[in-house]
Amino acid sequence: MNLYKGIHIIVIQLGNMKKMRIKNLGFSSGQYLVVIDDSVAVELGVRPHERVKVSYNGREVVAIVNVARNIPSNMILANEDILEELNVKEGDYVNIEPAPIPLSIKYIKDRLRGVRLSYDEVKAIVEDIVSGRLSEIELTALVTATHYLGMSIEEMYYFSKAMIETGERLELNKKPILDKHSIGGVPGDKTTMIVVPIIASLGYVIPKTSSRAITSPAGTADRVEVLAPVELNIDEVREVVLKTNGCMVWGGALQLAPADDKIIQVEYPLAIDPFFVPSIMAKKGSVGATHVVIDIPVGRGAKVKTIGDGHYIARYFIEVGRRLGMQVVCALTYGEEPIGYA
């Protein structure tokens, strides 16, 4: 009986496996992407945005499926990330078969129904975000659902921790490590450029990463770049900090909490940011911060409108920080007008 079952499964798998010629899409995107003809998708039994396993010579990747028309039925278009990972050349034959659905998608569907997530479930989701196994639809659903459902303080901690664990970490083997962050929303903020040198000059370690602006004229990283290079890699950051006590660099060049960077790509076009506490705390945790000041500008034009809301949000940062082993202090600041000569 077991033997028959085994044979049955093998037959099904062979039936859904196809040998196809690989063609290079000619770009690299940090996620494994393939495009196949719609008739091939039906034949394989995969729908758009589901996943296929592409294998060649003992190597394999799981890729998100895009379905299109007018593609020869024995051809699979793949981005360079796939050709590199499989070490395969355009024109070679690779094996394609439907890939099992990642467990994290079940957890996202649970989340959509309002279920709170355990640490293992959050970790599975974050790992799949980082490795590009989630489609944009699934990631957007997670972000939008969280916008409506909110996050428990446990989930904020779980996401922060999982984001830290799935990224690079700055190891300085020093204590204390100081850091600061503003949740933003007020133009003209140049605090970092003043605070970091002061802290460093007093003998404290402060490895500060900042973001660039894309649509606004300048983010802190852009401002710093007028004076010094900001695109350092993690080894260069370590070198600079060990020498000078501080740094001001662009976070995007590092791989600190990369899940956060992918979540932001979805939040930005929708103008919502339900992950802002884990986002910030994960970046602080990734540089090993032990003492952190969070600036919460409050005012009608800022992200946080009232002092009451500011206190509420401050408690999240302090408690998530405590669980991550950081001492967090929040400063509610005046956010009703631009800071300095904006």
Determine if 35 is a binding residue for a second copy (CB under 8 A): yes
Query: From the CB of residue 160, how many other CB atoms can be counted at a distance below 10 Å?
Result: 30
Determine if 69 is a binding residue for a second copy (CB under 8 A): yes
What is the chain's alpha carbon radius of gyration, rounded to the nearest angstrom? 23
Query: In the range 13-32, which residues lie near a second copy by CB under 8 A?
Result: 23, 25-30
Q: Which stretch binds a second copy (CB under 8 A): 62-70, 217-225, 282-290, 319-327?
A: 62-70
**Whole-angstrom distance, CA of residue 320 vs CA of residue 42:** 46
The owner of tokens 């379905």 is: 67
Handedness of CA 324, 312, 142, 33 (dihedral sign): negative
Determine if 222 is a binding residue for a second copy (CB under 8 A): no
**Whole-angstrom distance, CA of residue 272 vs CA of residue 266:** 9
**Binding a second copy by CB under 8 A: which of 1, 3, 14, 214?**
214
Contact (CB, 8 A) for 71 and 77: yes
**Binding a second copy by CB under 8 A: which of 163, 234, 266, 292?**
266
**Whole-angstrom distance, CA of residue 335 vs CA of residue 22:** 54
Q: Which stretch binds a second copy (CB under 8 A): 77-85, 158-166, 290-298, 318-326?
A: 77-85
DSSP classification of residue 185: -
**Whole-angstrom distance, CA of residue 31 vs CA of residue 262:** 11
Contact (CB, 8 A) for 278 and 192: no
Determine if 271 is a binding residue for a second copy (CB under 8 A): yes
Least separation in angstroms between CB 48 and a second copy: 6
Determine if 90 is a binding residue for a second copy (CB under 8 A): no
Give the number of residues in contact with a second copy, rule: CB under 8 A: 49
Contact (CB, 8 A) for 206 and 199: yes
**Binding a second copy by CB under 8 A: which of 22, 52, 77, 178?**
77
- Which residue(s) pair with 314 in the sheet? none
Least separation in angstroms between CB 87 and a second copy: 17
Peptide bond into 100 cis (omega under 30): no
Determine if 66 is a binding residue for a second copy (CB under 8 A): yes
Query: In the range 121-150, which residues lie near a second copy by CB under 8 A?
Result: 135-138, 140-141, 143-145, 147-149
Nearer to a second copy, 77 or 178 (CB): 77
**Whole-angstrom distance, CA of residue 132 vs CA of residue 29:** 10
Determine if 264 is a binding residue for a second copy (CB under 8 A): no
Least separation in angstroms between CB 272 and a second copy: 6
Least separation in angstroms between CB 103 and a second copy: 15
Determine if 104 is a binding residue for a second copy (CB under 8 A): no
Least separation in angstroms between CB 218 and a second copy: 13
Active site residue: 37, 261, 273, 295, which one?
273
Known catalytic membership, residue 273: yes
Report CA dihedral (246, 252, 255, 261) to the nearest 10 degrees.
130
Least separation in angstroms between CB 29 and a second copy: 4
Report CA dihedral (186, 167, 176, 321) to the nearest 10 degrees.
60
**Whole-angstrom distance, CA of residue 60 vs CA of residue 55:** 4
Least separation in angstroms between CB 309 and a second copy: 16
Nearer to a second copy, 10 or 213 (CB): 213
Contact (CB, 8 A) for 70 and 114: no
Q: Binding pattern to a second copy, positions 187-206, x when CB under 8 A?
A: --------------------
Contact (CB, 8 A) for 74 and 54: no
Q: Which residues bind a second copy (CB under 8 A)?
A: 23, 25-30, 35, 37, 42, 45, 47-50, 66-71, 77, 79-80, 105, 108-109, 112, 135-138, 140-141, 143-145, 147-149, 214-215, 265-266, 268-272
Active site (catalytic) residues: 273
